[in-house]
Structure 1
């Protein structure tokens, strides 16, 4: 493509491609697409977007086509790859374009240019070195945009450096270049940090110089007046990453260490000498742990905001104080033998003094951070009695900060003590949160809870309220029902706090967590909270409301515990279930909690719940079963099983659309044992407790399968007997035995043909559930429950929920717990004998293995 003639043609096509008229736009786009593989096309595009006189939209489109072409055709092996001559020309053209006036265009250009100019780095620095300030400003800005797009830098550039000291100039704080220079410096340090992070072994030759550079600027007078906060953070991160880098640590067995690790360790050891470490430790504590004037002013003006420290996550990468503390921790951990005497000496020098200038704050901060390393070197009990206790009693108005720090220090030390005890007592059961004993805490419960509530009312910061709510939740969780006399004020305040936190979803999450523990502590009395509680649940679990993104998980948990502790269903509580269909459609990680909620409704009021929601619930389950894992399938079917358990007649009718699939799964011999076990549990409930429905289902399935009813029944019984070992729960094994025995007495030849299998699983179930009375030598069914008793609880045991009580009452009516398997087998065999006569029954019994007959007679003796 001839450059002179091509420029005007391409420019015209680009201009037309920016048109809003599709009749003009489409042909232009097609023409540009055809030119993409033409030699010289990208050189023309380069000239067009370098021409600042042209329309911005045209130039922007040229940049986009240029970028797409570079992505597709720059590689040598790509079809229609660019020639080396054109590549060289494009590089040269890009490296001259440092005066792009439109920032968006500059950013777009340099987002792809970074991969093409790595060998032109000196050109940038030469322009920066120029004495003309306007040119320097322009170059700095363009360099910055370029560096933002660069994620790499060659090893040779990093190691070669620049020998001409005149390139290093100090810029005063008032210079117009200062801000851009600082940004450029930060980007250069980011290159170092990224190189260290992703290529630690290749960075080893730079360890010595990097440490010298960073330590010199932040721990010696060399940095005074020239460093700035973000640069200090980057230097500290550089030191931290070198000190803590796993690639630089030799293996425990030196012979197994890599040569690179040994080399890095040698460099670090040579650098971190005793004097160097001592100076670093002293400077960290005395200079960087010292509270600034801004921090002191903030403490006086807004102590609550001051107390909400920026910690956790990656805050150490960007903020000075967290960065300082993390560096101190890492250095102290790796060089504790050197730094422990240094820190103890600094503390000893302040012993016996009460420092209203707050210098002691930095030392207590350092001791608290290093508590684990100092544990064996400090007699904390004596220090507390002789010094810290006195600090807590100083009433000077500026000493509030020291009292706060002392309390924090005590908390740090207690944590170390508990960690030590946990390690020592590893043969004991897990320590239950500081071996908490409710009876020891109760004398202080009223005052502590009252003060926490006052603090919750007084603070204004969301983070502080969240922390207070967390402590309140912990207290309620530990004391459980003992909290009931003291929660009246909190119950009255939470609705107001919920309303005030409308724009603060994380605070609302904390409120939901507190409500969860509050409902658990109140038990059945939580019904008094329903005017506030139920609208909260409604909002938190409504996927059509934006806050659900934050509140859903905690809202579902609150919904569940509310149902668990509800003494009776209410219309409002029932109405919330309208949210469930949309929740089930999400198929999220909250499905298990959703199933727990459905089960809770079934236990609470099966008839009313099924009449209102079974149809929509069944549709949701059918949709879920189409695309769900085996584990998820089991969870869905367990809900159906609970429905059949609490309401055998209505449950079978309401979930009828699901049952044919269960039936087919049994006949086809479902391979996944847990799924098969659930299938048999569901069908066992139907057969045992709703035989007429089972008969109609059998007829329906026989018609669908084009089989005789008796033939299909025989297949079901045969598969049931064959897969009995898939059932591991004793309750389900007994249920299967009761269900198949319920087919007796029968003169049906198919059932009589399967008689041996029915007796076989019955004997297996008898072995599972029968226990022998050693005194009388007789057997009894261990699953029988005759009456409901309130359990006697120890002080540390939680009382049963209302749902626990409902489950116990339901068990009294469940055949698994109300029918003696031993008696049931005996009665069914006697009925079959009466039907067939002694001779016919004897022939039938001869089909059973003699050993099984012997075991059966042993179980049935005495009846």
Structure 2
């Protein structure tokens, strides 16, 4: 492709490819696709996206096509691979000027340079890193920023390579440029702090952006660039320096208010400091040992004392708590039962931890977690009133503790209580004893404190097994709390029924279950929706427990099933309906054939719910699970469900229908139990077997299920 003659043609087609008119757009895209494998095409694209006089949309599209071309044709073994000569020209052209004026295009160019670096640096592109190092030193603001942006993306990409030879190359790179990267970061950080005191907003934002980018480079080099980083003085010097820098940046947040344009970048930089520490602890726990004391002192002072007042923000608090948690839980810091079998490094880390977590420190952390962080906030109480279903779908499970404050505080409490339960059990018992008896409904603060303490007692249930006579406490304290029907008492009604759910599988006499079932029946009629949903959750935990006895439950079955069905109709959110359906399924599964007299209303409602959930495949999965248990409970009577049941099985097991991706496994199980409980094979049942042939042709973990259905 001749560059001069081709440029205008490619430019014209790229312009057409940015059109909103499909009649113009489609032919242009087809033409560009044909050119992808033409020699010289990417040189033309490079000329176009580096020409700042052209339309931004055209240049943007040229960058994207270039980036996709790297993925497809840059490797030597790729079909239609670019020639070595053209690649050499392109590499040189990419790092000639770092002067792209448009931020989004500059980011894309940095990413595509990093993609080439992943394949060619340093062997075919030894000049890349030296060029970047020189370019970040220039005085021109734009060129310096763009070079720094590229430096970050290249470092990030090279750090992500995992083969041993690639790791060795990155170690060599890191040791060669680490000192420079530290100097660069210190320079930009000092410049930012000087600008903050001068009050020049534009200069503050510009220097803060450079501080952030240079810190991102250092993070990758520090975490991924050394085998034994604790033996490198520069690395450890940088890490020890983070705490002082963090204090300086947190103090800056006093003068840079929440409405300041720099605030978002400032908070990102503060969080990035904590990410460096968390990543380093995760990847190099033994190398982190010299930082344990400082990390704990810093985090505890900002999160659990008045030092943090006025400067901390939620995401920072979460990061500090995660740092404490990861140090407390780290297996590298836990000696073996036989101390002699532990490494000296482990014993040293354990010694530092034990010296820090004294009785006064642990007591203060525990009290602050419960009396400050566990309290329901104004925002949460407002959400309770305005969006009760949203309130009940809490961010729990998985990795939510890494990002959200409430799960983070609860996980930290559980881990610290588990690790130091002998110290903390008396502290929590004392907090419980101060809250005996009913609480004044007019004293909202006292209600919230009690809610927080009950939360702690629920979270620490396994640790408190030998210390709390839960059966007695249930009868004398918790049951009376559930009977207080005042509207302002609803946080405690919800918390108490949740608390009982936490203790059911830990310590709860079987004889007390009828009293609990009575309480559940009452609470399923509570005026507050959040209380009713929480009660349904505890019912599931109770019914699902190992010591569940059907004979104790049967007197309450009709009432509970009716109330659960009403709750299923009352809630509107997909997640909540799924949750209530799971509770119903669990009840049906445990009582089996005893459910038959009470399922009429549910059987009539499920077809409507199935129709309404056309866009919600996960809700349909919950309906399938409910149907499986219903068919098992109804036995031969399940034939009355066939007008609804068989089309559901047909859809769920039809591989030509998109929903089968979500529904197939549960659909097959429903098909199997339907066949097993069918009094006779009907023509309608046989018709579903048309789906079996495509299913048997699938390579799947469900092959055994296919065979079982066929055999049935």
Shorter-chain TM-score range = 0.7 to 0.9
Secondary structure in 2 matching 1:394: coil
Aligned residue for 1:51? 99
CA distance in 2, matches of 1:105, 1:556: 57
Corresponding residue to 1:439 among 551, 556, 572: 551
The 3-state SS of whatever aligns with 2:657 is coil
Superposed counterparts of 1:148-187, under 5 Å: 151-153=220-222, 154-161=235-242, 169-170=252-253, 171-187=256-272
Whether the aligned pair in 2 keeps the contact of 1:99 and 1:142 (CA below 8 Å) is no
Match of 1:74 in 2: 121
Once residues 562 and 248 of structure 2 are traced to their aligned partners in structure 1, the CA distance between those partners, rounded to angstroms, is 68
- CA 1:151 to 1:285, structure 2 compared with 1: closer, same or farther past 3 Å? same
Q: Distance in 2 between matches of 1:147 and 1:453?
A: 55
How far has the Cα of 1:509 moved from its partner? 0.8
Question: Any conservation in 1 of the 2:137–2:144 contact (CA below 8 Å)?
Answer: no
1:21-40, aligned counterparts within 5 Å?
A: 22=35, 26-27=39-40, 29=42, 33-35=83-85
Distance 1:440 1:53 in 2: 74
- Give 1:118's match in structure 2, choosing from 148, 170, 181: 181
Q: 1:404 corresponds to which residue? A: 494
- In structure 2, C-alpha distance between the alignment counterparts of 1:517 and 1:360, rounded to whole Å: 39
Q: Which residue of 1 aligns with 2:599?
A: 487
For 1:61 and 1:375, the matched residues in 2 are separated by 57
Q: Contact 2:132/2:148 (CA < 8 Å) preserved in 1?
A: no
Aligned counterpart, 1:133 = 201
Partners of 1:457 and 1:105 in 2: CA distance: 59
Given the superposition, is the C-alpha separation of residues 443 and 97 from structure 1 closer, same or farther in structure 2, using an over 3 Å criterion?
farther
Residue aligning to 1:651: none
- Looking at structure 1, the residues matched to 621 and 413 of structure 2 have their Cα atoms a distance apart, in angstroms, of 34
Partner of 1:710: none
Contact 1:556 1:594 in 2 (8 A): yes
Q: Supply the distance in 2 between the matched residues of 1:183 and 1:599 (Cα, whole angstroms).
A: 60
The 8 Å contact of residues 111 and 146 in structure 1, kept in 2 or not, is answered as no
Q: 1:287 to 1:34 in 2, by over 3 A?
A: same
Task: Measure the CA separation in 2 of the matches of 1:406 and 1:35.
Answer: 73
- What residue number does 1:557 align with? 669
Counterpart Cα distance in 2 of 1:13 and 1:113: 35
From 455, 460, 475, the counterpart of 1:365: 455
2:185–2:214 contact (8 Å) kept in structure 1: no
Task: From 470, 473, 476, give the equivalent of 1:380.
Answer: 470
Alignment of 1:313-352 (within 5 A): 313-352=398-437
* Contact 1:45–1:66 (Cα < 8 Å) also in 2: yes
CA distance in 2, matches of 1:143, 1:540: 54
Preserved CA contact (<8 Å) 1:152 1:191: no
In 2, distance between residues paired with 1:474 and 1:457?
18
Distance in structure 1 (CA, Å) of the matches to 2:699 and 2:37? 47
The separation in 2 between residues aligned to 1:159 and 1:280, in whole angstroms, is: 24
- Output the CA distance in 1 between the equivalents of 2:464 and 2:131: 64
* Residues paired across the two proteins, number: 575
Which one has the largest radius of gyration?
A: 1
Offset at 1:18?
7.1
Greater Cα shift, 257-266 or 66-75: 66-75
Distance 2:624 2:36 in 1: 58
What does 1:470-485 correspond to in 2, within 5 Å? 470-485=582-597
Label 1:63 to 1:334 Cα distance change in 2 as closer, same or farther (>3 A): closer
Q: CA deviation at 1:95?
A: 5.4
**Change beyond 3 A, Cα 1:46–1:475:** same
- Cα 1:72–1:230 shift into 2, 3 Å: same
Structure 1 CA distance for aligned equivalents of residues 142 and 405 of structure 2: 35
Is residue 257 of structure 2 the alignment partner of residue 210 of structure 1? Answer: no
Q: 2:346 — aligned with what?
A: 261
* Residue 696 of structure 2: aligned partner: 584
Q: TM-score, normalised by structure 1?
A: 0.61
1:449-475 Cα distance to aligned partner (Å, 9 max, x none): 112212211222222222221221122
Aligned counterparts of 1:329 and 1:532: Cα–Cα separation in 2: 46
Q: What's the offset of the Cα at 1:101? A: 10
Distance of 1:12 and 1:123 partners within structure 2: 47
Structure 1 segment 667-816 matched on structure 2, within 5 A: none
Quote how far apart the aligned CAs of 1:598 are.
Answer: 0.9
Q: What per-residue deviation string (whole Å, max 9, x for no partner) do you get for residues 363-393 of structure 1?
A: 1001111111112222223322332222111
**CA deviation after TM superposition for structure 1 residue 128, in Å:** 2.3
Report the RMSD for the aligned CA atoms in angstroms. 3.6
CA distance in 2: counterparts of 1:308 and 1:55, whole angstroms: 38
- Can you list the C-alpha shifts for 1:743-781, whole angstroms capped at 9, x where unaligned? xxxxxxxxxxxxxxxxxxxxxxxxxxxxxxxxxxxxxxx
C-alpha distance 166-482 of structure 1, shift in aligned 2 (>3 A): closer
Please name the residue that 2:532 is paired with: none
Which consecutive unaligned segments of at least 5 residues does structure 1 have?
1-8, 422-430, 601-863
CA contact (8 A) 2:136 2:148 kept: no
Distance 1:27 1:286 in 2: 68
Deviation string, structure 1 residues 25-71 (Cα, Å, up to 9, x no partner) = 62365899545786x985653233x13369997x7897577435533
| CA distance in structure 2 between the partners assigned to 1:190 and 1:419 by the alignment | 46
Q: Deviations over 1:150-169 (max 9, x none)?
A: 53424442124486887763
Matched residue SS, 1:556: helix
Q: Secondary structure at the match of 1:372?
A: coil
Provide closer, same or farther for how the CA distance between residues 179 and 473 of structure 1 changes in structure 2, counting only shifts above 3 A.
Answer: same
Indicate how the Cα distance of structure 1 residues 577 and 122 shifts in structure 2: closer, same or farther if over 3 A, else same.
same
* Cα distance in structure 1, aligned partners of 2:634 and 2:90: 77
Instruction: Go from structure 1 to structure 2 and tell me whether the alpha carbon gap of 1:354 and 1:104 turns closer, same or farther (over 3 Å shift).
Output: farther
The match for 1:243 among 316, 322, 328 is 328
Q: Which segments of 5 or more consecutive residues in structure 2 lack a partner in the other structure?
A: 14-31, 45-81, 159-176, 223-234, 512-542
C-alpha spacing 1:367/1:467, structure 2 compared with 1 (3 Å): same
Distance, in Å, in 2 between the alignment partners of 1:147 and 1:15 is 42
* 1:92 paired residue number: 134
Counterpart contact for 1:16–1:25, Cα < 8 Å: no
Stretch of structure 1 that moved more, 557-566 or 442-451: 442-451
Q: CA contact under 8 A between 1:46 and 1:93: conserved in structure 2?
A: no
Go from structure 1 to structure 2 and tell me whether the alpha carbon gap of 1:183 and 1:568 turns closer, same or farther (over 3 Å shift).
same
For residues 375 and 390 of structure 1, what CA distance do their matches in structure 2 show?
Answer: 22
Q: Distance in 2 between matches of 1:254 and 1:312?
A: 34
CA 1:43–1:92 in structure 2 vs 1: closer, same or farther (change >3 Å)? farther
Q: 511-520 or 340-349, which moves further after superposition?
A: 340-349
Instruction: Map residues 4-15 of structure 1 onto 2, 5 A cutoff.
Output: none
Structure 1 pair 212/46, CA: closer, same or farther in 2 (3 Å)? Answer: same
Deviation at 1:488, TM superposition (A): 0.6
> Could you say if the C-alpha distance between residues 99 and 33 of structure 1 is closer, same or farther in structure 2, counting changes exceeding 3 Å?
farther
Q: Work out whether residues 218 and 232 of structure 1, in 8 Å CA contact, stay in contact via their aligned partners in 2.
A: yes
Assess if the C-alpha contact under 8 Å between 1:100 and 1:106 holds in 2: no
